[in-house]
Amino acid sequence: MAFTSDMDTDGQRRQGPFWDVVEGRIAPPPAALLLGWELIDVDPERGTIEVAFAADERFVNPVGVIQGGFLAAMLDDTLGPALVATLPADRFAPTLDLHVQFLRPARPGRLLGRGRVVQRGREVCFLAGELVRPDGTLVAVATATARIRVVR
């Protein structure tokens, strides 16, 4: 899968774990596979991303809606990649803080995550995003703080 923004500002193909997954050079992380993570669009210059998740029956609580921890994981797997897609190959950005507000129940099926880098510092970055149903109904919103680190 190729994106118009998979090249950096110098015209070089982007490198690093995020881009290795996108280009199929390495397998996605197990958590992304469990969540049914699918990249729809990414724009590293703008610091935005859109992804989809396939929420299945394994994610439901006793009343048949997706358990909040899975929704939080989906949001984390939206916001983090919005930032990581902007980083050089030798950098990663673990989440330091994730604040989720659950607005409506989500049922099994496709959910869309939209994330953005709100402010990027040299080390600390602020992220925001939302999780929506396919019809655009907002399910949950989140903000996060991440710290850019050298991959070791």
- Report pLDDT digits (tens) over 36-90: 999 999 999 999 999 999 999 999 999 999 999 999 999 999 999 999 999 999 9
Domain residues for the domain of 98 are 17-150
* Total of domains in the chain: 1
Say what the pTM is.
Answer: 0.92
Please say if the pLDDT value at position 148 is more than 80: yes
pLDDT of residue 72: 98
Cβ count within 10 A of residue 152: 5
70: in domain:
yes
Q: If you compute the radius of gyration of the chain from its CA atoms, what whole number of angstroms results?
A: 15
Which stretch of 9-18, 72-81, 121-130 has the lowest confidence by average pLDDT? 9-18
pLDDT of residue 1: 47
Q: To the nearest whole percent, how much of the chain has pLDDT over 70? A: 93
9: in domain:
no
107: in domain:
yes
CB burial of residue 118 (10 Å; 0-12, 13-18, 19+): middle
